[in-house]
Structure 1
């Protein structure tokens, strides 16, 4: 298997945007001290006045879109020190728009700019698009904001083609050397910003964004990892929460190992659901009963693990890239037929469809360039947000548990701690409950068949947040709003537009 610095990523394709989700981060911090403010404006944290009172200079950046940049402190404990730049865009609402609606697609590492540019027109109802200026941002370290920079395209291609054997101590040592080289490259090319791309800092940035937009409270829609940003924002600034929807939630009490196990089980269950649907279709490249077909799939994975496939462009597709490509269509059951066709082609000797999906997870274009920096940001944010134990016996025990619990996918999620072992900056995250006492009503949405953020995580976050209502979508796929049904759409849009909080326990 390939080095864990580029290990299995969890990806969501919402609309036309590729939204990195992966092993997701949570962290907590005490609320900052604040200065008093007039009753018609939100309070400004002490020492941050010059950031909170910025005036945004919006300029046209294609069609109806407007773009701008915002400055935030690199280190909120040293606001007079270095700064970082955040990139924002927006789709202006109608003439009676009720302020801004900030959107984050997840990750960590996904671009909010891309979401607003590409996905929002197809995912959001027209009334919601008219009712708010829909604003996207690339969080610190991501994309067009002060980015984490690690590899050039040729280096990233080479890294994706690598394959190691964690079954031996020598294989793990090779993985460690490779990961240490990658960590050193990230530190050299990113500089001091690499130590400040944690979730807490990004959540604090959101309050600067709110103020610069001229909104007293933050209206926010966060998907997947974006729910961690939203929940931490509510914990830090409960008095500034407006209307907030957290879709496909993370449980902030879970550590890295628990997150990994939850996702392994989630994807294993979704693979079973997909495979049964494939068999029932009568046009499936697998045969027999469900367990027979799953055995055939595992045999296919074993063959790729033993001998990587080669795409028509000559690039190698080793097992982790293959599995990354395999899981992309699992994020939405409407794309399951695409997975069936891709697997049928693999069995006929053509891996190009799977390679295309794997390229989507990495942000690789057909010309060999890479858009964004999702892989690098994914690593950097997670290494800061989660303490990880790279002790070999510990990792081997975890790998065994993953393989037993999720026999199809679990082994490919193991050994991720190696990727953070030699990271220049130690983890600062501290998984713990988030209550956001005093916040306005928050809506948490969970999907019963969500493979990337299991339904139980949404239940847990809704239970922790003091003002949360839980809405359940009974279905498959990752997240719900924009890809599920009218019941979810009406609940979300009525809440944002009219302030109608859906009943706790609503099931769609």
Structure 2
């Protein structure tokens, strides 16, 4: 997603970034011994969150008065040496509350890669309350994230400088600086996290989930994956098709695409979202940022060009640069709920005040108001670069710029240059794209949103095809924003709840308008 660290750097649900009350699990690293499937988890009240998880306070009590519980599961550092050193995987749960008979655990991954499930689940618990009638709601910090052996790269001060840089270089000097900054960031990741970097691939996280399934006492994995979580769910189904229970993939990553194709698809997706935002604004009684949809977009383009030459005050002492403004605009396009703040932020920026757009950009980058960063960006880069074989260079990006600009005048350059994020990465990438073929798996419900900017709608159909005949079942939502279930649409929620709670698989091709 638009972020100078790479094409999928903000797949975490936008409202989670902005609204989550963050909390922590506990980390653990010690030599392994014995059968890890037999370990007993020590569930306790959740402690205060770590900085790596974004800070904040412990989650509010559940509506029935219950408390959130946290635990740490030991997993092999290196799955090729299952009896070697271990790392701790931070977990959180809310026990099933009835009145229905408990089915088991429903494990959530909210995306990223790099998003803390321990932090995110409590903020959305009300959205998933119907599912808690028959499931323990469970989430986790995937390996490399938060307190699960979280990847560390640059310091807070270094990240402040990094995110102030020009991520859409216009000449040779700017290109050289951008590439140098990328390589320095990646070198810091190797310096501070060399032990874990080779072991944060999506296949490693999928194996962790199968261990989690066994430790939680479930015969099959019941799963709800959002954004990057759909890729993780597909990889799990490929590795363990016989262990798939009831699984939902929402806001679907196209598993057939290379990083370049994914970035180009996102350029089109964010441009579509901007078109929809602009049209929505001018159809109201008065749009403060333009008179027509094209005028809105022209004014945004003019603002970004102006900021490239002369940034404006943001959140003191930082300035709102072209990069930060683009990042903030993209953050707001993740959810229609943020279109109001986007309108206000643009209006302020036209008047020389960049605070709202910078606040949105900070949310994308995992920066708290006190200047501390979660490890969202570090984990995102580490997981993506470990998964993806491709290593693009400056010359390649320059050749591709016309195609990206045609896809999106506003976001094309930004997403094209983000392809350099794995330059000089110390660990080789695993594959051209993930393998999600899952013959023999139980049905998996795949939910696509026609107005999704970050994971364009076409990815749902590609996921269904890649999972294989008789496995993927497509459900279409004609809406806006990143994801469908959390849009509140009753049709989508009824179909998903009916499947997860009662095993009713919707008819393939069902459409919720």
| TM-score normalized by the length of structure 2 | 0.89
**What is aligned with 2:241?**
238
Residues 162 and 181 in structure 2, CA contact (< 8 A), matched pair in contact too: no
Shift in alpha-carbon separation, 1:472–1:156, aligned structure 2, 3 A:
same
**What is aligned with 1:36?**
none
Residues 77 and 199 in structure 2, CA contact (< 8 A), matched pair in contact too: yes
The residue matched to 1:139 in structure 2 has which SS? coil
Query: Could you tell me how far 1:182 is from its partner in structure 2?
Result: 1.3
Distance 2:259 2:14 in 1: 25
Does residue 85 in structure 1 map to residue 88 in structure 2? yes
Query: Could you tell me how far 1:187 is from its partner in structure 2?
Result: 0.9
**What is aligned with 2:45?**
60
Cα RMSD over matched residues? 2.2
Distance 1:401 1:19 in 2: 35
| Deviations, residues 298-347 of structure 1 (Å, cap 9, x unaligned) | 11111111212222522122222111111222112232122111111111
Worse-matched range after superposition: 214-223 or 396-405: 396-405
Structure 2 unmatched ranges of 5 or more = 21-31, 47-57, 62-66
Give the alignment of 1:386-465 within 5 angstroms. 386-431=388-433, 434-465=436-467
**What is aligned with 1:287?**
290
**What is aligned with 1:43?**
none
Query: Could you tell me how far 1:364 is from its partner in structure 2?
Result: 1.6
Residues 15 and 119 in structure 1, CA contact (< 8 A), matched pair in contact too: no
Distance 2:3 2:134 in 1: 46
Query: Could you tell me how far 1:76 is from its partner in structure 2?
Result: 1.2
Residues 72 and 85 in structure 1, CA contact (< 8 A), matched pair in contact too: yes
**What is aligned with 1:252?**
255
Does residue 163 in structure 1 map to residue 148 in structure 2? no
Equivalent residues, number: 478
**What is aligned with 1:504?**
508
Worse-matched range after superposition: 217-226 or 429-438: 429-438
**What is aligned with 2:36?**
51
Distance 1:489 1:463 in 2: 23
Distance 2:298 2:186 in 1: 37
Does residue 313 in structure 1 map to residue 316 in structure 2? yes
Give the alignment of 1:118-133 within 5 angstroms. 118-121=123-126, 123-124=127-128, 126-133=129-136
Distance 1:15 1:421 in 2: 30
Distance 1:172 1:472 in 2: 41
The residue matched to 1:414 in structure 2 has which SS? helix
Distance 1:18 1:86 in 2: 24
Distance 1:149 1:447 in 2: 34
Distance 2:195 2:19 in 1: 26
Residues 3 and 179 in structure 1, CA contact (< 8 A), matched pair in contact too: no
**What is aligned with 2:382?**
380
**What is aligned with 1:33?**
none
**What is aligned with 1:44?**
none
Given candidates 89, 102, 122, the residue that maps to 1:97 is 102
Give the alignment of 1:18-417 within 5 angstroms. 18=18, 50-61=35-46, 63=61, 64-94=67-97, 96-121=101-126, 123-124=127-128, 126-163=129-166, 166-370=169-373, 372-417=374-419
**What is aligned with 2:485?**
481
Query: Could you tell me how far 1:272 is from its partner in structure 2?
Result: 0.6
Distance 1:344 1:120 in 2: 34
Structure 1 unmatched ranges of 5 or more = 21-46
Query: Could you tell me how far 1:497 is from its partner in structure 2?
Result: 0.7
Distance 2:33 2:507 in 1: 38
The residue matched to 1:366 in structure 2 has which SS? coil
Query: Could you tell me how far 1:12 is from its partner in structure 2?
Result: 4.8
Shift in alpha-carbon separation, 1:13–1:436, aligned structure 2, 3 A:
closer
Shift in alpha-carbon separation, 1:206–1:312, aligned structure 2, 3 A:
closer
Query: Could you tell me how far 1:387 is from its partner in structure 2?
Result: 2.2
Distance 1:236 1:418 in 2: 30
Distance 1:19 1:420 in 2: 30
Shift in alpha-carbon separation, 1:301–1:14, aligned structure 2, 3 A:
closer
| TM-score normalized by the length of structure 1 | 0.89
Query: Could you tell me how far 1:214 is from its partner in structure 2?
Result: 0.5
Worse-matched range after superposition: 234-243 or 354-363: 354-363
The residue matched to 1:69 in structure 2 has which SS? strand
The residue matched to 1:417 in structure 2 has which SS? helix
Distance 2:365 2:225 in 1: 21
